[in-house]
Amino acid sequence: MLAKLPDHSLITEEDRVRYTDGSISVTIWFDVDNTIFSFEIIFDLLLKEMALLYSKKSPPRYVKVEEEIPKFGHAKKQSIGSRVENLPYSRIIEFEEVSECIPKQERNFILKIMHLINKNSGA
């Protein structure tokens, strides 16, 4: 089950909220009117991570999180892949099962976007 993470950044909890359960990470950013501006769901943390990205300013997409080859002396980095993948229906079920702690309005909005992506991808 997802648990809310403590906020230790300069961004206030009114602007962003984060949840994780060890295998899924959810970050939600809010507009000034307290509606969802964007969200990111990372599936399969520390494995072959996949990210579901949504923003009011761009189309939603489901992509791989790729490891970048680090430069000598630099820490390893990750980047969001550019190739859009099909969102499997199993990811919707997986999110539904662990997201009960997310407020209903935000959870339903995310599920609506997930179903829309799944429908449009034909997965």
Share of the chain above pLDDT 90, in %: 46
Q: How confident is the model at residue 48 (pLDDT cuts 50, 70, 90)?
A: confident
Q: How confident is the model at residue 27 (pLDDT cuts 50, 70, 90)?
A: very high
Give the predicted TM-score (pTM) of the model. Answer: 0.78
Q: Is the pLDDT of residue 13 over 60?
A: no
H helix or E strand, kind and range, residue 79: strand 77-85
> For the chain, which residues make up each domain, given as ranges?
3-121
Q: Is the pLDDT of residue 4 over 90?
A: no
Within 54-103, where are the H helices? 89-98
For the chain, the average pLDDT equals: 82
What are all long-range contacts of 99-106, with beta carbons under 8 Å and residues at least 24 apart? 99/2, 99/19, 99/26, 100/1, 100/2, 101/1, 101/2, 101/3, 101/4, 101/19, 102/2, 102/19, 102/26, 102/28, 106/28, 106/36
Q: Is the pLDDT of residue 15 over 70?
A: yes
pLDDT, residue 47, reads: 82
Q: Is the pLDDT of residue 114 over 80?
A: yes
**Residue type, position 120, single letter:** N
Of 17 and 46, more confident: 17
pLDDT digits (tens, 9 = 90+) for 65-112: 876 555 565 555 555 556 677 899 999 999 999 999 999 999 999 999
